[in-house]
Structure 1
Amino acid sequence: MTPLSRRTMIASGLGLLGSTALVACSPTIPATGGVGTATPGGATGTLDPRARDLLSVHGIEAATAEDAVTAVDRVPQPRPLRLTGSVGYDQVTFADDSDEVTVPLTGGQFYLSMAPYRTQTHGCYYHNLGGCQGELTDTPVHITVTTDAGQTLLNEDTTTGTNGFIGFWIPRDHTGTVTITADRATASTPFDSSPDGPTCLTTLHLT
């Protein structure tokens, strides 16, 4: 998928979902190319000092870019935050009013964040850690993530955050299905952890 087609997809999604939108995620598209039991694999690089300084201003302490993504997504405040973070396949861009830093995700994993909903959602492609706000906050859910090859990557109970999202690190370069159940309602949607895949899933309509 080309950058142009990804932009077209984002614009189309926002248009279709605009009447029911909450706080929309950032349209930022990284130049190239996640919270659960699936953890980053392989060696992770030390977080760039400039990024560490930017995050520290907002009370976030992290040793790696992966730690920073997880920490910002878990900030227990409604969105938007003063700090944003656009997550792509292999990099994340953190920014506030005074600075912007892009750092690589070197752990070999893909951050997949999702927001189940009942009545309201918003268009999204690359998850904005400080901008995306989902409808169902602090809600118990059960999630399974299964590849098209039949491998179960996740199968557990968890709870959405104050931002209405749940995020997980999963292996890169897989396709499959995400299924979420909450209070006897279920929603499913495809996922794609390839370089062109979305890190933000907001089409999980619980019915």
Structure 2
Amino acid sequence: METIIQGKAYVLGKNIDTDQIIPAEHLVYSLSDPEEVILYGKYALSGVPPEQGGLPQGNILFIEEGSCHSNYTIIIAGPNFGCGSSREHAPFALKVAGVKAIVAESYARIFYRNCVDGGFAIPYESAEQLNQLIKTGDELKIDVEANTIENLTSNITYKLNPLGDVFNIVEAGGIFAYARQENLMPQH
């Protein structure tokens, strides 16, 4: 079980909605065809406007031109991350792009549930406005057991709200995999 998540930060603003995370025009790709699945990664965060930290963020792209995978594995965002429609494609697109954790002040409830239930990424909450304290490109280290995020670039550590069983569910691969692992439902 990986209890340390390390990677570069990609910082976003508040009220990032699911259509900004994966615009509706990109929902045509199959979720089971490997050649089409990677396109969810390619277009992840492609709808975020520049004033919310979207593309281009300065000259920093979340997904490099010609790639389907991001160099940024930790999203730092303001309040109400994942608001909008209830599409499961949003946390799925972030996972395909390589995101392992999201740290936001708060989440839209349905996005948070989709993120956990699908085992897509760890959704941490922070009482502090980390999107005002961390910059895109900063190297971060999340310690899941200590519920901390350390900015290795500035050498400052922040406290995160405890995850409870959320980490175990995401680590298992989603709610159904977790239930099978814990013998809460029949094995298949």
Question: By the TM > 0.5 criterion, same fold?
Answer: no
Q: Which has the higher strand share?
A: 1
TM-score by length of 1: 0.27
What TM-score, normalized by structure 2, do the two folds share?
0.29
